[in-house]
Structure 1
Amino acid sequence: MKKMGLVPKLIMGIIAGILIGSFAPELIVQILVTASSLFSSFLKFVIPFIIIGFVTAGIADLATGAGKLLGITTGIAYGSTIIAGSIAFLVASTIFPSFIDASVAAQIGDPEAGMVPAIFSIPLEPMVDVTAAIVFAFMLGLGISALRNKGKGETLYGMALEFQEVVTKTLSTAIIPLLPLYIAGTFANITYAGQVWDILGVFWKVYLVVIPLHLIYLVVQFTAAGAFTGKNPIKMLKNQIPGYLTAVGTQSSAATIPVNVECAKNNGISKEIREFCVPLCATIHLSGSIISVTSFAVAVLMMNGMDYGFATMMPFILMLGIAMVAAPGAPGGAIMSALPFLPMVGIPSDGGLASLMIALYLTQDSFGTAANVSGDNAIAAVVDHINNKMNKKSNKKSA
């Protein structure tokens, strides 16, 4: 079991939950739901710390590096992430109504109706609320950045990095391993309430849209990079295959960095740019993740007859582009970083709908990660081209 990957464990959790909800006595379902509820309380308690740990260290890191190139790379990465999220919203809101309509929402009905309650709960409230955590993370991250630019703030920076390690350790040793239990409890409850087959009937159709959308956006990124740099986008995409497959297999942006650097080398990107851009973009460029999160959020909203309009989704997308900074450092970090912002679109950050989001996301996480890291090399090609132009101008002035 320890050697088994997360996705098989999640699938086993879903199957176990359906079987328990279908055939087990109500008391067994309640026991599982109680365990899931306790985990949910713990997750809600940890969420503000996830924000503080990831966002503070991520912003503090962005203040150091290659000056103007850092700003250019960050701007392109954020722009690409937002464009990806916007495209995902447009595609989801156009295609999903063909298989998620008012009748589906009516069949599913109130997601809480018919579910069994937990036997008991523990009053575990977060130490700070989500809004306070966001403001504090931005204040501290920007403050550390400013201090480091003046040769100060290394102690605070070290504390931020070490706190991020604590959060990452909590995710990898407690949150992620217990997610199959959490999801099993959710599926046992929705099965007991008679809603599971309506929901699963939507799930697989959503995947048929999301995973091809990752690949289409990769083609768009490399086509745009090729047009800007004069490189052959087909050759660039071919050279990126090892990085894509490594990310699918490892489900880790960090583990893919060495292979991705080699892919960038094969695309003719200079040593200084590939060694600067690839690790940085592995942290701040999440085009694949935001396509997944946005699409699944729209699907969940549609399934429950909730508003999914542009005015609802766009602030959510803009915030995700910032909030998911440094999230790839932890397994499932992107969806965990997105959880605190789900209330912006009307989805509670804990409970049944949130666990549906987690289940949807994590079962395709390897494809989202592969899209993230592959797009990084399209950005690296653009930044390398800009750097070459800047160097030529500088040399002309010197001459």
Structure 2
Amino acid sequence: MFAALARMSLVTRIIIAIILGVAVAVFFPQVAPYLSLLGDLFIKALKSVAPILVFVLVLSSIANFSVGGGHSAKIRPIMYMYAIGMFLSALAAVFVSIVFPSTLLLDASSQANLQPPGSLVEILKNLLLSFVANPIVALSEANFIGILAWAVVLGIAFRHATDTSKAFLTDAANAVNKVIRLVINFAPIGIFGLVAVTFANAGLKTLSSYAHLLAVLLGTMFFVALVINPIMVAFVTRANPYPLVLQCLRESGITAFFTRSSAANIPVNLDLAKRLGVPESTASVAIPLGAAINMAGASVTITVLTLATVNTLGMTVDFTTMLILSVVATVSACGASGVAGGSLLLIPVACGLFNISTDVAMQVVAIGMVISVLQDSTETALNSSTDVLFTAAVDRAPSK
């Protein structure tokens, strides 16, 4: 039986875990409290690995980023589209979260009196103090804003390092990814415990909460794919964007939905780019680069779940803070791990903007894992289809 489960995909195992967790909560509610340890261990493992994940992956990504050999004339506008697309996706997530606010079932008693920063000056002050925190202290205290700042600064500094040093950073990032994969492979066990306990305590209220959250996430991603991206493409190409948008969604997005990996979808995107007439010299750089850093779906996930947490804690957030959250979500999304559910592990970075504790943030990550069966697949479809969409759009832009 265990061998058969090991051969199943992670999605299948998570679905089985959710079904079993609900069944235990409904038919054996007295057993559910004893399963809480499974969920607690899973959240503890996520909490332990998240700081080093953010630090190493963002540092390595920036240090090894390069565009060589005269491709900059085409690559630079593609990069601009990647960055603007992620930021607009985060803003869309803010708007949808305001119109359709979500709440989560969290154990947040320690955060009961938490208040958001009261002014722009206080926000900037808290950000600056977090930025200049000692990196060792930032890692030990899970100060994700400080971790992100040091990763960016050191990443820029390591861009001038030797190839050997950059190779070491790449190996370190790959090693951290392997640890993440190990932790996430235990997600079905942790989710089983979390679902059993949560449903036993809250009943059908949990189901409606998850359904609403999932609807907000998927609705925002569809809005980005069918409204924001077409507007950007139309602006660049000066033509009707929808034939290109729908072709990229159909031929790239559907494949990415089932593979749940932007990296695995690179060959599909390269083939599609070739058929769309994109020069190989451009596609061979822009497509792999997009698979690594173009994460519009991740910026949506990070923003929606962070604002759901803020709403659950009863915090009132002004527009300026939401704007800064969009920037933080955009930068964080660029460092999302390539493993399934990797974007969820960046949520504590955004939560740190509101002084939300790591314990609470990791509960949110665990909730994200429960709905990741659809959330992560849709997110990957948006991410990967956007890579080839923006690459083809820049290639079709009318010359000045």
Aligned to 2:220: 213
Q: 1:129 to 1:303 in 2, by over 3 A?
A: closer
Letter in 2 for 1:135: A
1:186 alignment partner in structure 2: 194
The whole-number CA distance in structure 1 between the counterparts of 2:25 and 2:313 is 21
Superposed displacement of residue 47, structure 1? 1.0
Q: Using the TM superposition, give the Cα deviation of residue 126 of structure 1 relative to its aligned residue in structure 2, in angstroms.
A: 6.3
Give unmatched runs, 5+ long, in structure 2: 111-137
Higher Rg: 1
Residue in structure 1 matched with residue 179 of structure 2 by the alignment: 170
CA 1:378–1:268: 2 relative to 1, 3 Å: same
Residue of structure 1 equivalent to 2:133:
none
- Aligned partner of 2:232 in structure 1 is 224
If the length of structure 2 is used for normalisation, what is the TM-score? 0.80
- The secondary structure found in structure 2 opposite 1:253 is coil
Out of 339-348 and 79-88, give the one that drifted further: 339-348
The answer as to whether partners of 1:284 and 1:325 remain within 8 angstroms in 2 is: yes
What one-letter code is carried by the residue in structure 2 that aligns with 1:19?
A
Partner of 1:74: 79
From 3, 9, 12, give the equivalent of 2:7. Answer: 3
| One-letter amino acid of the structure 2 residue matched with residue 73 of structure 1 | I
Amino acid at match of 1:136: W
Could you say if the C-alpha distance between residues 89 and 321 of structure 1 is closer, same or farther in structure 2, counting changes exceeding 3 Å? same
8 A Cα contact 1:60 1:144, kept in partner: yes
CA contact 1:254–1:282 (8 Å) conserved in 2: yes
Equivalent residue, structure 2, for 1:130? 143
Distance in 2, matches of 1:310 and 1:196, equals 35
Give the match for residue 117 of structure 1: none
User: Residue in 2 aligned with 1:17?
Assistant: 21
The whole-number CA distance in structure 2 between the counterparts of 1:352 and 1:57 is 27
1:358 aligns to 2:369 (yes or no): yes
**Distance change (3 Å), C-alpha of 1:224 and 1:313:** closer
Q: Give a deviation string over 1:323-374, Cα, whole Å, max 9, x none.
A: 2224252222111233343232465434533321332345421111101111
1:277-303 CA-to-partner distances (Å, cap 9, x unmatched) read 111111111112222332233334434
Q: CA deviation at 1:128?
A: 6.1
Structure 1 SS opposite 2:316: coil
Greater Cα offset, 46-55 or 309-318? 309-318
> Equivalent residue for 2:290?
281
- Residue 34 in structure 1 maps to residue 48 in structure 2: no
Distance 1:356 1:327 in 2: 18
Contact 1:308 1:345 in 2 (8 A): no
The one of 84, 89, 92 aligned to 2:97: 92
The within-5 A match list for 1:190-339 is: 190-192=198-200, 194-220=201-227, 221-240=229-248, 241-307=250-316, 309-339=318-348
Between the aligned partners of 1:305 and 1:16, the Cα distance in structure 2 is 32
Counting aligned pairs with the same residue, the percent is 24
Deviations 1:149-205 (A, max 9, x none): xxx421221111001110111111x2111112222222222233x324213213223
Going from structure 1 to structure 2, the CA distance change for 1:127 and 1:269 (only over 3 Å counts) comes to same
CA contact (8 A) 2:39 2:193 kept: yes
CA contact (8 A) 2:305 2:347 kept: no
Q: Deviations over 1:188-231 (max 9, x none)?
A: 22233x32421321322333343243233223313431342245
Q: Paired residues, what number?
A: 362
* Aligned mates of 2:148, 2:37 — CA distance in 1: 30
> Kindly tell me: are residues 339 and 196 of structure 1, through their superposed partners in 2, closer, same or farther at Cα, counting changes over 3 Å?
farther
1:50-101 CA-to-partner distances (Å, cap 9, x unmatched) read: 112210111112244344654443332111101011011102211x14xx5x
Using a 3 Å threshold, how does the CA distance of structure 1 residues 135 and 285 change in structure 2: closer, same or farther?
A: same
The aligned counterpart of 1:373 is: 384
User: Is 2:236–2:394's contact at 8 Å kept on the other side of the alignment?
Assistant: no
Runs (4 or more) in structure 1 with deviation over 4 Å come to 67-71, 108-113, 125-128
Mapped to 1, the partners of 2:162 and 2:203 lie a distance apart of 52
Aligned position for 1:83:
88
Matches of 2:11 and 2:313, distance apart in 1: 26
Map Cα deviations across residues 210-261 of structure 1 (whole Å, 9 max, x no partner): 3243233223313431342245423213431111111011011011111112
Select which of 136, 155, 162 maps to 1:141: 155
Q: In the alignment, which residue of structure 2 is the partner of 1:119? A: none
Quick one: distance in 1 between partners of 2:92 and 2:371? 19
Q: What letter corresponds to residue 212 of structure 2 in structure 1? A: K
Ranges in structure 1 where 5+ consecutive residues have no aligned partner? 114-124, 394-399
Distance in 2 (CA, whole Å) between partners of 1:367 and 1:328 is: 16
2:79 partner letter: T
- Name the structure 1 match of 2:351: 342
Matching of residues 377-396 of structure 1 within 5 Å = 377-385=388-396, 389=399
Partners of 1:10 and 1:309 lie apart in 2 by 37
1:171 touches 1:331 (CA, 8 Å); kept in 2? no
**Conserved in 2, the CA contact under 8 Å of 1:347 and 1:354?**
no
Distance 2:176 2:305 in 1: 25
